[in-house]
Amino acid sequence: MTLVTEQTREMESGKRANRLVLVVTKDTLDQVYPPMILATTAASSGMEVDVYFTFWGLRLLDKKSHGKTKLASVGNPALPMPNILGVLPGMTGMATRMMKGKIKKYWPTIPEMMQQAKDLGVRFHACSPTMGLMGVKESDLIPLTDDIVSASTFLEWATSPGTATIFI
């Protein structure tokens, strides 16, 4: 029985997840960098990585909005800018430029990080149920897109053994 017991202990301790599923629902600088940093880090360490783009996140796979991710200039009290200034015309652009200026000391641009992720084997999926709502047609998808995937396929992934899912 010793062998069985040993195996039991090993099984009980479980196995590390070897697949990461990231869900990107927003299209703002501060909510796109985290999944891109996690995707490239995980893929570099040999994990399988799938990124599921849904709702506003779909804009990252859409030719019309790819590369145009901004930072909100209002509604984030952690930003050093009063809302009364944040709403003025041009302020979203200014906050975006300031943030991008800081970011580029540390990371590539979002399109560059997406390309880097692809080169590392990360897969990009467009959420089929929200494409119509977001005005994204199949012909709008950038070539980095692997496929169009249903909510039930996403759920199958998220509930598979050995998978860690992070919803952002």
User: Which residues between 19 and 38 bind a second copy (CB under 8 A)?
Assistant: 20, 25-28, 30-31, 33-34, 37-38
Q: Which two tokens stand for residue 110?
A: 């979002």
Residue 56 or 124: which CB sits closer to a second copy?
Answer: 56
* Segment (H or E) for 2: helix 2-13
Q: Which two tokens stand for residue 13?
A: 């301790």
139 binds a second copy (CB under 8 A): no
Question: How many chain residues touch a second copy (CB under 8 A)?
Answer: 74
98 binds a second copy (CB under 8 A): no
Backbone angles phi, psi at 72, to 5 degrees: -70, 135
Q: Which residue has the tokens 């997840």?
A: 17
12 binds a second copy (CB under 8 A): yes
Q: Which parts of 35-74 interact with a second copy (CB under 8 A)?
A: 37-38, 41-42, 44-45, 47, 54-56, 59, 65, 70-74
**CB under 8 Å to 164, separation ≥6 — which residues?**
17, 19, 20, 21
Which one of residues 48, 61, 82, 142 is an interface residue with a second copy (CB under 8 A)? 82
Residue 38 or 51: which CB sits closer to a second copy?
Answer: 38
Concatenating the DSSP letter of every residue in 148-165 gives EE-HHHHHHHHTSTTEEE
